Amino acid sequence: MTNAALRSDAIAKAEETILVLERDVLTRAFLADYLRSCGYRVLEARSAAEALTILQESSEPIRVVLGDAENGFKLSGWVKANRPKIKVILAANAERASQAAADLCEIGPHGKRPYDPQLLVQRIRSHLGKGAD
Amino acid sequence: MVPAEVVALRDPVLLVVEDEVLIRLSTSDFLRNEGFTVLEAGSAREALTVLNARYDVSVVITDIHMSGEFEGLELIREIRRSFPAVKIVTASAYQITEPVEAVITKPYSLERLSSVIKSLIGN
């Protein structure tokens, strides 16, 4: 790949946008921060209704929705029918959401995890004051 | 409660409290592009959850009128009671009497908001 192509690819990847749909504000903030630190543009929604508003009214080129299982399931049917190119990842708990975020970082703009996803889980749990499951 | 000196030693972290998702998104996005670390809360209750869990919030930017049983004015009073080191910027179309660091009159520009925040944190 030429330098110009590499730059173009880097710009395209830097513009990749992920919508984090998570009802718990602290978990949402940590996941969003983690994904931003590996170069994604991140939008945050706290409910399926908010996520739907963003998907319908924002001009953001959203590639992935990373959602908690309950809210994400409500939204996934709409996404499949109306935005079939958007990938929906549902996570049953903080550990799975963290692992999904880490996997996205490995394929994403910077191509590496900012730090171990287990640390992300620990941070979420310590701030929640109990298990985040 | 977070001691004032602890907050003062940290990089400025902002908390944007707004129940309208697209306004919250655009405000937070603009402030991130201005170089701030921005946390988002969709309600006054979420804002208190964040403030109780994180020690690093320097400035809260909150709307006054929000849906839910607990709204902007009560949030301001609670911040004043429990987090006195945290500065508050609020946007309102009306005069308010709550003790906040800055009130910006609606409608306002995001540039104006950013400028007010920077003056508050001495940047």
Tell me if residue B104 falls in helix, strand or coil.
Answer: strand
Q: In the prediction, which pLDDT does A120 show? A: 85
Share of chain A above pLDDT 70, in %: 84
Model confidence over B92-112: pLDDT tens digits? 777 777 788 888 887 789 999
Model confidence over A78-119: pLDDT tens digits? 999 999 999 999 999 888 999 999 999 988 787 888 888 888
Q: In the prediction, which pLDDT does A33 show? A: 93
On the CB side of B96, CA atoms within 13 Å amount to 24
How high does pLDDT run on average in chain A? Answer: 84
Distance from CA of B104 to the nearest CA of A (A): 25
Higher pLDDT, residue B32 or A111: B32
If pLDDT is split at 50, 70 and 90, which confidence band does A129 have? low
* CA nearest to A29 within chain B: B39
Q: In the prediction, which pLDDT does A1 show? A: 43
User: By the CB < 8 Å criterion, does B56 face chain A?
Assistant: no
The complex's ipTM works out to: 0.82
Q: In the prediction, which pLDDT does A126 show? A: 80
Q: In the prediction, which pLDDT does A7 show? A: 42
Q: In the prediction, which pLDDT does A130 show? A: 46
- Between chains, do A57 and B39 touch, taking CB under 8 Å as contact? no
Q: In the prediction, which pLDDT does B101 show? A: 87
3-state secondary structure chain A: CCHHHHHHHHHHHHCCEEEEECCCHHHHHHHHHHHHHCCCEEEEECCHHHHHHHHHHCCCCEEEEEEEHHHHHHHHHHHHHHCCCCEEEEECCHHHHHHHHHHHHHHCCCCCCCCCHHHHHHHHHHHHCCCCC
Model confidence over B44-76: pLDDT tens digits? 999 999 999 988 999 999 988 877 667 888 999
Model confidence over A16-37: pLDDT tens digits? 899 999 999 999 999 999 999 9
User: By the CB < 8 Å criterion, does A18 face chain B?
Assistant: no
CA dihedral angle for residue B10, residue A37, residue B23, residue A89, rounded to 10 degrees: -140
Q: Please give the backbone phi and psi of residue A4, each rounded to the nearest 5 degrees, phi first.
A: -65, -40
**Do A43 and A21 contact (CB within 8 A), yes or no?**
no
User: By the CB < 8 Å criterion, does B42 face chain A?
Assistant: yes
Q: In the prediction, which pLDDT does A45 show? A: 97
Q: In the prediction, which pLDDT does B98 show? A: 78
Is residue B118 predicted with pLDDT exceeding 70? yes
Distance from CA of A39 to the nearest CA of B (A): 13
Q: In the prediction, which pLDDT does A57 show? A: 92
Of the candidates B22, B46, B49, which has its C-beta nearest A53's C-beta?
B22
| Mean pLDDT within A44-56 | 96
B29-67 in b/e burial notation, b at 16+ Cβ within 10 A? bbbbebebbbbbbbbbbbbbbbbeeeeebbbbbbbbebe
User: By the CB < 8 Å criterion, does B49 face chain A?
Assistant: yes
| Mean pLDDT within A114-126 | 83
Six token digits for residue A52: 């739907």
* Residue from B83, B16, B12 nearest B44 by CA: B16
**Do B49 and A26 contact (CB within 8 A), yes or no?**
yes
- B24 C-beta neighbours (distance < 10 Å), count: 24
pTM: 0.84
Q: What is the DSSP letter of B96?
A: -
| Mean pLDDT within B26-38 | 94
Model confidence over B78-87: pLDDT tens digits? 999 999 999 9
Separation between Cα atoms, residue A104 and residue A92, nearest integer Å: 17
Separation between Cα atoms, residue B77 and residue B84, nearest integer Å: 10
User: By the CB < 8 Å criterion, does A45 face chain B?
Assistant: yes
